């Protein structure tokens, strides 16, 4: 995720990064905040970006992670349904055209972003470990992606 081309996003008019949490911002099943990612998130403000976590996670620790990063959060987002992403857009009072949904999964983050009408960027997952149902989707993703790679 830290490899995102922020200059290119800015040139496209993006001011808000909607960030998936599990395996995008922090490893799955972990409240750990990776220093490199915390620093990258802290660097967004001075560059003219705002960020909001948008997670399907429903556990309390999602709020702790958001607090640790100093970011607002929409939990239980229900991606790929577009409602959680729309909630984040309303929360930040921005236009859809200013937002990009960033995440590690095609069937939740990218599809959800498309359905909500925002730009999307697929990023490399932080760790290869996932929940069971995610592993099934990963195999489908591998078929769809073939030899292509995530953008960042
Ligand atoms: Mg994820």
Ligand 1 centroid, distance to 129 Cα (angstroms):
11
Which residues form the domain of 122? 14-145
- For the stretch 62-101, pLDDT in tens is 898 899 899 999 999 999 999 999 999 999 999 999 999 9
Residue 41 Cα to ligand 1 middle (Å): 17
Half-sphere exposure of 110 (CA within 13 A, CB side): 14
Domain CATH code at residue 20: 3.40.50.1000
Average pLDDT, the chain: 90
Answer yes or no: is 82 within a domain: yes
pTM greater than 0.85 (yes/no):
yes
Mean pLDDT of 121-135: 76
Residue 27 falls within a domain, yes or no? yes
Q: Give the pLDDT of residue 1.
A: 84
Count CA within 13 A, CB hemisphere, residue 57.
26
Token pair of 37 as six digits = 């990612």
Ligand 1 centroid–CA 106 distance in Å is: 9
Task: Answer yes or no: is pLDDT of 150 > 90.
Answer: no
Number of domains in the chain: 1
């Amino acid at each position: 995720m830290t490899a995102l081309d922020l200059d290119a996003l800015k040139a496209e008019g993006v001011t808000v990064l909607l960030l998936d949490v599990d395996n995008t911002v922090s490893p799955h099943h972990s409240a750990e905040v990776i220093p490199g990612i915390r620093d990258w998130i802290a660097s967004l403000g001075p560059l003219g970006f705002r960020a909001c976590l948008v997670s399907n996670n429903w556990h309390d620790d999602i709020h702790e992670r958001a607090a640790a990063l100093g970011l607002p959060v929409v939990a239980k987002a229900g991606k790929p349904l577009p409602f959680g992403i729309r909630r984040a857009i309303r929360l930040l009072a921005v236009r859809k055209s200013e937002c990009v949904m960033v995440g590690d999964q095609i069937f939740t983050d990218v599809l959800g972003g498309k359905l909500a009408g925002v730009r999307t960027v697929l990023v490399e997952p932080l760790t290869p470990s996932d929940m069971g149902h995610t592993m099934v989707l990963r195999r489908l993703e591998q078929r769809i992606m073939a030899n292509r790679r995530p953008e960042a």
